Each structure stands twice: as structure tokens, then as C-alpha cells.
Amino acid sequence: MGYIVPNDLLTEHECPLAVIKCVDFRFRESDQEFVEKHLGYKNFDLYAWPGSAKDVLKNNGFKVSFSEKIVAVSKNLHHVKKLLLLWHWDCGAYGGSNNFSSAQEEEAVYQKDLRTVRDMLMPDVPADLEIVMAYSKAVPQGLDYTILE
């Protein structure tokens, strides 16, 4: 027999949130804590991709495929109400923090790209799917998460 993990959610088929985040292992636990404790979502659909949804900026097949999956699975099957686009500092898809002249420049690029990705996805997802944007950056105490308006 294999390793059995109790799971009382197997009969559930709805969750309120879908998250797309980077695959970077350094942020997995902190991202989970941010979504659960700060945003209040214990259960959510998770899409992990190198660079999060940065590839949407290329306006290629990734954007189309990602939008279709969000609508078909998360929206239509799991009835999500929100999509969280989650970026992090020192992202390898951007060349890491050393690729920027300052932490302020890195933060400005992330904010601009998050808003651009949101705007690019909006026409391809249902109007009632709210897109939320957030990113994390290093501070002496750990990771500081900022939600963009």
C-alpha cells in the first residue's frame, strides 16, 4: 500500500480563488501563508509557472492557453471569483534582482508588468472574474507582500 493522506475536500468542487505564481521553491511557503492568512483563502486553484504569468507579455500561445484554462477549469468548473497574479523579487525570469539598477526600479517594473498582464487578460476572462495583483519583496523580517490597486 502507498502513503495515504487524509483529504476531506475530495467531494468539494468549488473554491473562490485561483493563483498564478512562480515555481520558485523559495517562495512556496510564504506565498501560501500570504494567501491563507492575509487574503483569507485556504483553498484555491494553483497555477505555478516560471516567472508567474510574465509570459503573457509575449502575447503568444501562452496567453491564449492560460486564459482558456482559467476560464474552463477555475471559473467554469470550480467557480472562482478572483484570480491572483503573484510576482516576487529576485525573479529569474527577469534576470534576478541584479539585473536592475535598484530595488525601486525592480519594484516599478513588476508593478508595470502586473498591470499590463491584468489588462491583457481582462478581455479573455469573464467580466465577473476579479483580477488581483500582488508581489513580494525582501525586508529584514522576511517577505513583504504588496497588493496593487
- 43-86 confidence digits (pLDDT tens): 999 999 999 989 999 888 889 999 999 999 999 999 999 999 99
How much of the chain exceeds pLDDT 70, in percent? 96
CATH number of 17-148: 3.40.1050.10
- Letter string b/e over residues 103-130, b meaning 16 or more CB atoms within 10 A of that residue's CB: eeebbeebeebbeebbeebeeebeeebe
CA-closest candidate to residue 78, choices 143, 142, 14, 1: 14
Q: What's the predicted TM-score (pTM) here? A: 0.90
Report pLDDT for 21: 96
Return the CA Rg of the chain. Answer: 16
